Amino acid sequence: MLDGIGGVASGFDLILCDVWGVLHDGVHAHRGASDALTRFRALPGERPRRVVLVSNAPRPGAGVLTQLDGFGVPRTAYDTIVTSGDLTRRLLAERAAAPVYHLGPDRDLPIFDGLDLVRGGPDDAAHVVVTGLLDDEVETAEDYRDRLTPWAARGVTMICANPDLVVERGERLIPCAGALAALYEEMGGAVVYAGKPHVPVYEAALAAAEGLDGGAPLPRERVLAVGDAIRTDVAGARAFGVASLLVARGIHAEELGVAAGAPIGDIAHWLEAQTVHPDAVIDLLRW
C-alpha cells in the first residue's frame, strides 16, 4: 500500500497512466492525480520523465485532450495521449475495402474522421465497429442480443473500440463497448480488441514516449502503469512486462468497500482472489 508515489517515482522514467478512474471520474477531476503526474515530470534524471495517458476511449487522442481540458486537468500532467480509438483507426485503415457498420452513439463518430472507408448497413457489413451502447444510462449488453445474433451467424468480425466492461460516471458504473464484445464472443462471434489489456496499445504508448526523446530505447523496468481496473490496467501491464499500480477508488471501489469514502481496510483477500496482481495499491493517485 502506498500513501503516495513520491517515494517510488525516481525509480521510473515513464508512467503509462489510465484516464477515466484515475484523472477523473467522468464528472470531476482528481486534482491530486494531476499534481502527482506534474511533479513526476519535473523530477531530474538522466532522461526526461514522461507521462503517456493510455485510454480505452473509443475516440482519437485529440478528443480526450479536449475532454481533459474541460475537466480542468492541466497539460503539465502529461506529454501525450494514446487511445484505443487511435488503434481502432489503424485497424479500420487496414480493412478499408470491406463495408463497415458503426454500433455506438454519435458522440463517437470522430473515430471515422478522415478515413476513406466503405460504410455499410447492418445487413451487408463485413465488420462492425462497436464504440459503446446507444444509451448507456439505461441499456445493458443483453438488450443487444437480438441485434448481435445475425452478425454472429454470418461470421461478421466485431472491432471493439473500448475493451472496458464498465466505467465510472460519478458514483455509478456505466456499461461500455467491452460488455457488448464479451457478449458477442459468448455467442460465438469473432472480436478484434483495440486497447487495454492487449499489448499493441502498450507498444504504441512506449513508442510515443521514446519518440519524444529521439527514439532512445526505454527499458521496461523503468515503466510504471497506473490504472483502476484489474482486468485491463493491471492485466495489461503484466502482459507487457511492466510494473503496475492499482488505484483502489475506481471501478473496484464498491467491491473494496470504499465507494462512500470509507478508509481502505485489509484488501489482501480480495487481491488474492484476482487472476493478476498489481505491484502496489493506492487509494487515489497522489504525490
Strands (E), the chain: 14-17, 50-55, 80-83, 100-103, 127-130, 157-160, 166-169, 172-175, 190-193, 223-227, 243-247, 280-282
Number of domains in the chain: 2
Which residues form the domain of 100? 86-193
- pLDDT (0 to 100) of residue 269: 84
pLDDT exceeds 70 at position 262: no
Q: Above pLDDT 90, what percent of the chain?
A: 83
Alpha carbons 264 and 256: distance in angstroms, whole number? 7
Last residue of some domain: 193, 212, 232?
193
- pLDDT (0 to 100) of residue 252: 85
Contact 211, 228 (CB under 8 A): no
Sheet holding 127-130, edge to edge: 100-103, 127-130, 157-160, 190-193
Residue 147 counted as domain residue: yes
Mean pLDDT of 45-51: 96
For residues 186 and 157, state if they share a domain: yes
Mean pLDDT of 242-267: 80
pTM for the structure as a whole:
0.90
Residue 61 counted as domain residue: yes
- pLDDT (0 to 100) of residue 122: 94
Name the residue among 243, 274, 229 with its Cα closest to residue 5.
243
Last residue of some domain: 193, 212, 228?
193
For residues 123 and 189, state if they share a domain: yes
Distance of CA 11 to the CA centre of its chain: 24
- pLDDT (0 to 100) of residue 110: 92
For residues 79 and 122, state if they share a domain: no
Residue 2 counted as domain residue: no
Mean pLDDT of 99-115: 94
For residues 153 and 175, state if they share a domain: yes
Alpha carbons 30 and 47: distance in angstroms, whole number? 28
Residue 4 counted as domain residue: no
pLDDT exceeds 70 at position 25: yes
For residues 172 and 215, state if they share a domain: no
Rounded to the nearest integer, the mean pLDDT of the chain is: 93
Alpha carbons 47 and 51: distance in angstroms, whole number? 13
For residues 137 and 207, state if they share a domain: no
Mean pLDDT of 220-240: 96
For residues 62 and 94, state if they share a domain: no
Residue 234 counted as domain residue: yes
For residues 78 and 119, state if they share a domain: no
Mean pLDDT of 209-232: 96
Residue 1 counted as domain residue: no
Angle between helices 199-212 and 84-94 (to 10 degrees): 110
Alpha carbons 134 and 118: distance in angstroms, whole number? 22
Identify the three-state secondary structure at position 65.
helix
Any residues with CB less than 8 A from the CB of 186 and at least 6 apart, and which? none
Q: What is the CATH number of the domain that holds 234?
A: 3.40.50.1000
For residues 71 and 97, state if they share a domain: no
Tens of pLDDT, residue by residue over 57-91, are 998 999 999 999 999 999 999 999 999 999 999 99
Mean pLDDT of 80-107: 94
pLDDT tier at 196, thresholds 50, 70, 90: very high
pLDDT exceeds 80 at position 245: yes
Count of alpha carbons within 13 Å of 5, Cβ hemisphere only?
33
pLDDT tier at 256, thresholds 50, 70, 90: confident
Mean pLDDT of 152-173: 90
Last residue of some domain: 193, 213, 233?
193
User: How far apart, in Å, are the Cα atoms of 217 and each of 133, 207, 224?
Assistant: 39, 9, 15
Residue 170 counted as domain residue: yes
Q: Give 228 or 261, the one with higher predicted confidence.
A: 228
Contact 84, 57 (CB under 8 A): yes
pLDDT tier at 168, thresholds 50, 70, 90: confident
DSSP 97: T
- pLDDT (0 to 100) of residue 255: 80
For residues 182 and 201, state if they share a domain: no
Residue 287 counted as domain residue: no
Angle between helices 145-154 and 177-186 (to 10 degrees): 50
For residues 181 and 201, state if they share a domain: no
- pLDDT (0 to 100) of residue 222: 98
Mean pLDDT of 15-41: 95
For residues 110 and 205, state if they share a domain: no
